[in-house]
Amino acid sequence: MSQPQAQDDGAVVFESTRYRLEVAADGWSAILASPAGDRLLTLRPFAALDRTDGLDETLAIEPPRIAGGSIEVERRSTLWERAVTSFRCADDALDLRTRVNGRGDLTDVRLLGGRSLLPRKPHGLIPSGSSFLTLFSPNPADPRLVRPAAEAAVIGVVGDGEPGRGHWLFTPAPLYLALTAEEVADPAATGTWLDLGLAAPVQELAFTQLVYEARDGGFALRLEYEGHTHVHGRWEAPVLVLTPGVPDPYTGLRRHRNDLVARGAAPALREGEQPEWWSKPIFCGWGAQCYLASRDGSSAPAHATQARYDEFLAELERHDLVPATVVIDDKWQAAYGTNEPDLDKWPDLKGWISERHVRRQHVLLWWKAWDPEGLAPDLCVRTPEGEPLGLDPSNPASRDALRQSIASMLGPDGLDADGLKIDFTARTPSGRAPVLHGDGWGIALLHELLSVVYRAAKDSKPDALVITHTPHPGFVDVTDMIRLNDMLGGVSSVVPQMRHRALVARAVCPELPVDTDDWRIPSRDAWREYLASKLELGIPSLYYVSHLDATGEALEPDDYEALAQSWEEWEAKRR
């Protein structure tokens, strides 16, 4: 492997067949270029690690030095006793490592950019420079598969349908971005990309989101710790891995998963067969519930009833469609936090599930992550005034209550359901002021929550199926299947966005099957087109019974025949 070399002018250079890195003699910048000398990025080898007691600003930067095979740049900070950024260069990629010494509670951590108070230099936030035109994010916040590099992007565990917060469909997606100098619309097309991936064990991902901060001709990366990470002594940020010369982002995502495994930052690929029933066609009643709500002006959760689901399944059976797995969606329970059946809606849910078992069908229950409805406030993450925000998985009493709730849903002495469709992982608590019992925050706290749920599900029923929309490599140990999640509107065809999501999931979680979802389809033509494409993406999932909620269009006899044929083809394919 090549080694960094000190130059006569004080700069330090590393060269390989994939790239060239030159750290300037004053430590102000580092030029990442192609082997031919074409500039890719003007990197900033200093960072900003803000605390609750102030902003981290750089007073001085020392010349770069070679230490243990790495190129180190040390700076003098207004907050930290010591602050060092280093480049660990391999022939095909380079690690950017950031560490500080001191004491304090982290708020925002910026990588590839910092605040300058240097004499005779620009002041304020200095991002890295970029001439890239196109940005790829694996988080499906936009029906476009790529976006201009001048736009922001967010990957994390917070989001919803409010404006500017639509990054919730994969929570979390892989902490990965890719850039190219070309204007492209299809990231699968072979080209030349540079990708950036965060590498750290999931327990160290104590931030709510990674933000790509686009600026004029540049960018920085911001990790939002929100004051819940306490530094006492030495602290290191997650490693940022930069890989030039990637042919396409999906190839880069596969390499990203392998890299995380090699670093001990993600589980190795699972081996062994999955229960045969997991891969059979799925029916979820949410789309049918939404149609009924659109017809009579009621709420969709009001139609999650025993009578309605009997109607749904009977109607499908009249068309010779008998789904192997049935998902009872929002809201079958009396309270989201306690997950006991609403007896007005489900007078005998246990008996209903038992009848479905007699028919050789399996039943999954929709479970809303985080929701505190019905829970005692002391089991929850709370506001300073004591209002519950979400179940607190750092509290042993909360974990016990959650285990009991899962056992009551899946255990033979409970409802005896066969698994969970987990939703609303993007409701992960966020903010500086919330109070919780123990440590952990952000992505790490969500993983802790799902870890309790997953293990309780397997303890209750070893072949229980747990479906999530968390295609991050660090989450493969808390899920059995990745759901592609709701479709984004404003387009006539949903196939491109759903194919993109499936490619992301397969790249980073190849051992997990894919639930193709089915909602919210914009039109019957779009539904037909997506039905014809599902078998290449994953397990066929049906959300409708008679009509589409978006348009009120009815399914026609040919549609039911196409469904039956699709399911038959899937059965033949999976054998």
Does 41 fall in a domain? no
Q: What are phi and psi of 33, to 5 degrees?
A: -135, 165
Q: Are 245 and 353 in the same domain?
A: no
Distances (CA, A) of 543 to 329, 477, 486, 560: 10, 27, 11, 13
pLDDT in tens, 318-376: 999 999 999 999 999 999 999 999 999 999 999 999 999 999 999 999 999 999 999 99
Q: Are 378 and 517 in the same domain?
A: yes
pLDDT in tens, 481-502: 999 999 999 999 999 999 999 9
Does 429 fall in a domain? yes
Q: Are 283 and 364 in the same domain?
A: yes
List the one residue out of 512, 507, 473, 508 whose CA is nearest residue 265: 473
Would you place residue 1 in the very low, low, confident or very high pLDDT band (cuts 50, 70, 90)? low
Q: Are 555 and 497 in the same domain?
A: yes
- Counting runs of H as helices and runs of E as strands, what totals does the chain give? 9, 31
Residue 144 structural domain = 46-256
Q: How long is the chain?
A: 575
pLDDT in tens, 55-75: 999 999 999 999 999 999 999
pLDDT in tens, 210-268: 999 999 999 999 999 999 999 999 999 999 999 999 999 999 999 999 999 999 999 99
Q: Are 172 and 238 in the same domain?
A: yes
List the one residue out of 233, 235, 236, 259 whose CA is nearest residue 246: 259
Q: Are 83 and 227 in the same domain?
A: yes
Of 256, 291, 314, the last residue of a domain is 256
Q: Given the structure tokens 């007078």, which residue do they identify?
A: 347
Of 226, 256, 286, the last residue of a domain is 256
Q: Are 351 and 293 in the same domain?
A: yes
Rounded to the nearest integer, the mean pLDDT of the chain is 97
- The total number of structural domains in the chain stands at 2
Q: What is the pLDDT of residue 271?
A: 83
pLDDT higher than 90, residue 77: yes
pLDDT higher than 70, residue 397: yes
Cβ atoms 406, 457 nearer than 8 A: yes
What type of residue is 174? P
Cβ atoms 94, 21 nearer than 8 A: yes
Q: Are 565 and 452 in the same domain?
A: yes
Provide the percentage of residues in the chain whose pLDDT is more than 90.
98
Q: What is the pLDDT of residue 267?
A: 97
Does 13 fall in a domain? no
pLDDT in tens, 525-558: 999 999 999 999 999 999 999 999 999 999 999 9
Does 14 fall in a domain? no
Q: What is the pLDDT of residue 163?
A: 94
Q: Are 287 and 231 in the same domain?
A: no
Q: What is the pLDDT of residue 27?
A: 98
Q: Are 68 and 146 in the same domain?
A: yes
Would you place residue 383 in the very low, low, confident or very high pLDDT band (cuts 50, 70, 90)? very high
Instruction: Give me the CATH number covering residue 560.
Output: 3.20.20.80
Task: For residue 9, count other CB atoms closer than 10 A to its CB.
Answer: 7
Q: What is the pLDDT of residue 568?
A: 97
What type of residue is 243? T
Mean pLDDT of 115-132: 97
Q: Are 344 and 425 in the same domain?
A: yes
List the one residue out of 179, 189, 186 whose CA is nearest residue 132: 179
Which residues are CB-neighbours of 478 under 8 A, at least 6 positions away?
Answer: 447, 450, 451, 453, 454, 466, 468, 470
Both structure tokens of 406: 């899962």
Q: What is the pLDDT of residue 270?
A: 87
Which residues are CB-neighbours of 221 under 8 A, at least 6 positions away?
Answer: 110, 111, 112, 113, 196, 210, 211, 212, 213, 240
Does 29 fall in a domain? no
Provide the percentage of residues in the chain whose pLDDT is more than 70.
100
Cβ atoms 513, 489 nearer than 8 A: no
pLDDT higher than 90, residue 387: yes
Of 225, 256, 287, the last residue of a domain is 256
Q: Are 189 and 305 in the same domain?
A: no
